[in-house]
Amino acid sequence: MKILSKIAGYAIGALLVLSASAADYPARTIKIIVPLEPGGSSDVITRLLADRMSTDLGVPVIVDNKPAASSIIGTYALAKAAPDAHTILMTNSAITSNPWLFKLPFDTLKLTPVTMIASAPQLLVAHPSAPFKTLHFERRRSTAGL
């Protein structure tokens, strides 16, 4: 529980830095979109964060789960929202892998990262008899417009 308090503190600090440039922030309810299923670790951490943010910022902070389509539906909801920091996204690594896997209706490079809350190792594995031992990616920009 102590680590979650620290996580919430860091995230709130990042939001407060953003709010320093806008004296009227937050002007209304803040919505945190979680593009994953309710009850998972991202949802639990987000709900703890939302509770702390609501207390510290003095406005309601709601969690809006939008699971499905490899996080695309929830991320698209953020991409369409007004860029005023009243709608934010708690996502996972899908935001970095989705542009490589799907044709998206938005450009993830136009979204602004605020802070990293947690990290988890990920592996790409293949059978030992596969004809390759390494993987090389080239960065490409999405041509999707908003």
- The DSSP secondary structure of 82-100, one letter per residue, reads -SSSSEEE---THHHHHHH
- Does the residue 20 lie in any domain? yes
CATH of the domain at 38: 3.40.190.150
pTM: 0.70
How many domains does one find in the chain? 1
User: Which ranges of 21-119 would DSSP assign to H, the alpha helix?
Assistant: 41-57, 72-80, 94-101
Residues 27-42 have pLDDT tens digits of: 999 999 999 999 998 9
Residue 140 backbone zone (phi > 0: left; psi -120 to 50: alpha; other: beta):
beta
Residue 119, pLDDT above cutoff 70: yes
Residue 2, pLDDT above cutoff 70: no
- Does the residue 100 lie in any domain? yes
Q: Domain containing 79: what range?
A: 2-110
Is the preceding peptide bond at 26 cis, omega within 30 degrees of 0?
Answer: yes
Residues 74-104 have pLDDT tens digits of: 999 999 999 999 999 999 888 888 888 899 9
What is the pLDDT averaged over residues 102-129?
87
